[in-house]
Structure 1
């Protein structure tokens, strides 16, 4: 029962990150853009640190030596590559025009994109949150430490993505309050995602299911950080040295957080 409490409580907290779009209602586009890229940098550090300091070493401990862990990590990378292609997640990652739309400067573009963009974005977000809920529940099945690390890494990634998602919905023509509501409802998909894994584990060998999903989760973190987030940091917005230093500091902060959790877990 404790696993259920920890997992469902954590995924509900993760779902609340869908309300991060409300930040855009009080910030101007320039300030928001600066904040967004710092959050992306922190997410890169948290996801890389979570995968390389926690999930992959834990996977080797549980699966032993040999290629199995590496193959499962690669399976996670490939699975997210295919999923991203299928759902066209590229619409959700920090487009400057989406940020402008979220702050009320691009309403004239919304009608040209219309419902298809909003629908695709919502479908992609629901699928994304289902997977988030599943990987968080699977991590808690391994250990409390792994679950906490996974939850924090997922949240770090979700905050900037949800700001971008909110911008996409407004850019597509939705009013800000309706966009925030739809984003929150899509975020609640973390709960059935977690329940699915918990129920499957209850009917089969739960420990084996959790163990095999752990390196797949690590692979997904490596893919998202390397394929989606780091390229965002290397776009034209990141050329000034001061911004690069700030992003590096935030990446190190994310890695440092995961290192501290590692020390506390072994303390």
Structure 2
């Protein structure tokens, strides 16, 4: 009975922690979008400095946090999984861009098409964030916290862009907020699915590699190329990038990486040793 209670407490505490981190990574990220509606001055600051900062965060977490953890749990096979994840993200974004491009009219983008594309793309993106948060937390609670923080930091500039497109399409402030709240729920859904996946080192390791490939893609292709597009000097943009890298390196070195759920490989003794042990037991057993 006592063992059962301990298992229930452990079950609830781990699931609760994953849910809290998923909420931090998704719903808190909506702050960036809400700011674009109610505070134009702060919106300008976010659009200038958050993109290079998020680029540094994402690339560092992918290469120095998630990838080493994946290798530790599933071996070097995760490198190919990370590559496939990176390429899959590129192909998916290319497909969305192609659909969007083919729906352009003479006067520019058809917002009737842009709106569902933004919603679908953002929902899938949030789902993947939930997968990343849950997988990293299961591998190491400390890394899960870092992933949630990284998700929040890159969601802020991402939501600024999404809110801008939806507002330009003519949607009201309340509708834009509700749409993004609904989309953010996909993070929790993704985290729940991964939590109930059979947890062994190989599965979690490859899930980490998928998350790492996606984070690397976001940082290297979605954020880094746009650093020079922001309306600040190159030195300030580079400083924001470097600060993001240094901050994540510091956090990764401070937060411990424990493996609470990592399976322990117990060595099995040879068959002759087992037979000798059983004979010894027979000798001392009561007649």
Q: Taking structure 2 as the reference length, what is the TM-score of the superposition?
A: 0.76
| Gap regions ≥5 residues in structure 1 | 92-108
The 3 A distance-change label for structure 1 pair 89 and 33 is farther
Residue equivalent to 2:94: 85
Q: Residue 24 of structure 1 corresponds to which residue in structure 2?
A: 36
Q: Is 1:15 aligned to residue 26 of structure 2? A: yes
CA distance in 1 between partners of 2:250 and 2:203 (Å): 27
Alignment CA distance shift 1:63-1:178 (3 Å) = same
The partner residue of 2:253 within 227, 238, 263 is 263
The structure that has the greater radius of gyration is 2
Match of 1:113 in 2: 110
Q: Within 5 A, what are the aligned runs for 1:128-139?
A: 128-139=125-136
* d(CA) in 1 for partners of 2:134, 2:35: 28
Q: Distance in 2 between matches of 1:214 and 1:74?
A: 12
Counterpart in the other structure of 2:122: 125
Q: Aligned equivalents of 1:18 and 1:89: distance in 2? A: 27
Aligned residue in 2 for 1:194: 191
Deviations 1:135-176 (A, max 9, x none): 111111100122112112211111100011001101111012
Which residue of 48, 53, 56 maps to 1:37? 48
Distance 2:132 2:253 in 1: 23
Query: Is contact 2:131-2:187 (8 Å) kept?
Result: yes
Q: Distance in 1 between matches of 2:144 and 2:167?
A: 33
Q: Please state whether the residue corresponding to 1:10 is helix, strand or coil.
A: helix
2:58 paired residue among 47, 69, 87: 47
Q: Which moved more, 1:172-181 or 1:79-88?
A: 79-88
Structure 2, unmatched stretches of 5+, are: 1-10, 101-106, 258-287
Q: Does 1:243 align with 2:233?
A: yes
Aligned length in residues? 239
Q: Secondary structure at the match of 1:76?
A: helix
Distance 1:226 1:13, change over 3 A: same
Q: Give the corresponding residue for 1:4.
A: 15
Cα root mean square deviation, aligned: 2.4
| TM-superposition CA deviations, 1:62-97 (whole Å, max 9, x none) | 233x4x132122122012112212333997xxxxxx
User: Which 4+ residue blocks in structure 1 deviate beyond 3 angstroms?
Assistant: 86-91
- 8 A contact 2:228–2:237 mirrored in 1: no
Cα distance in 1 between the residues matched to 2:22 and 2:95:
24
Name the CA distance, whole Å, in 2 between partners of 1:3 and 1:14.
Answer: 17
Does the alignment pair 1:62 with 2:52? Answer: no
